[in-house]
A = this chain, B = another copy of it.
Amino acid sequence: MERHFDEELQGLNNEILKMGAFAEEAIFKSVEALKDRDKNKANEVIANDKFIDELELKIDEKCLDLIARHQPMAKDLRFIVTGMKLNAELERIIDIAVDICQRVLELADKPLLKPLIDIPKLAGIAQNMVKMSIDSFVKRDGEIARRVMFSDAEADQLRNAIQKELVEDYMLKDKSTTPRAVLLLLIARFLERICDHATNIAEDVVYMVEAQVVKHHPEKL
């Protein structure tokens, strides 16, 4: 029975890794679709969402089933419950990638407002934060999780810089750019929300591993 339980926990690890890989891919593709104004790529991410939703439910059920059948003690219980939280965060991250792709569909027929540099950079940070946050969970490594949390400030700053540039250098100078600039502004905010979700995951992992509340306590970083 013990060995069986360990195998099932390993299975949960693998499912979460798979969900994490889908999340990274969705972020990457959404920004590729934006850069290339590629409606097909945007539609791929949107179409994949149904499959992701089913995977989320499957993982959620697996977690509940593990708790109900094995009645795990504190440490394993905390691991499984953290897995449920991660699962929900990852599904939201992919939902946000879908939101980005819907904005991409609106932008795809219009001329590009400007060469995109900072938005792909922000997407790279987001993708990396998601990757590291999942890594911290499967390795149960609080140090990796803390590195994710540090990156969030960088993401915030970049989002603010993008927003400032779009308002001051585009919308305020030439209002014909406003509809496109608003869409890019929303995309930057979506990417920064993905970073927030990765930070949520990291905070949950630190709590799981170190029984330390860093959530809402930045001074403990």
Contacts and interface: CB of A to CB of B under 8 A. Distances in A.
A221 interface: no
Copies of this protein in the complex = 2
A153 interface: no
A182 B179 contact: no
Contacts of A68: 73-74, 77
A128 B192 CA distance: 28
Interface in A163-209: 167, 171-172, 175, 178-179, 182, 185-186, 189
Interface band, chain A:
20 to 34
Interface string A79-115: 0010011001000000000000000000000000000
Contacts of A179: 167, 172
Nearest to A74: B68
A50 B218 CA distance: 12
Nearest to A182: B167
A40 interface: no
A20 B9 CA distance: 34
Contacts of A213: 57
A190 to B, nearest CB: 10
A111 B133 CA distance: 43
Interface of A: 50, 53-54, 57, 64, 67-68, 71, 73-74, 77-78, 81, 84-85, 88, 167, 171-172, 175, 178-179, 182, 185-186, 189, 213, 215-216
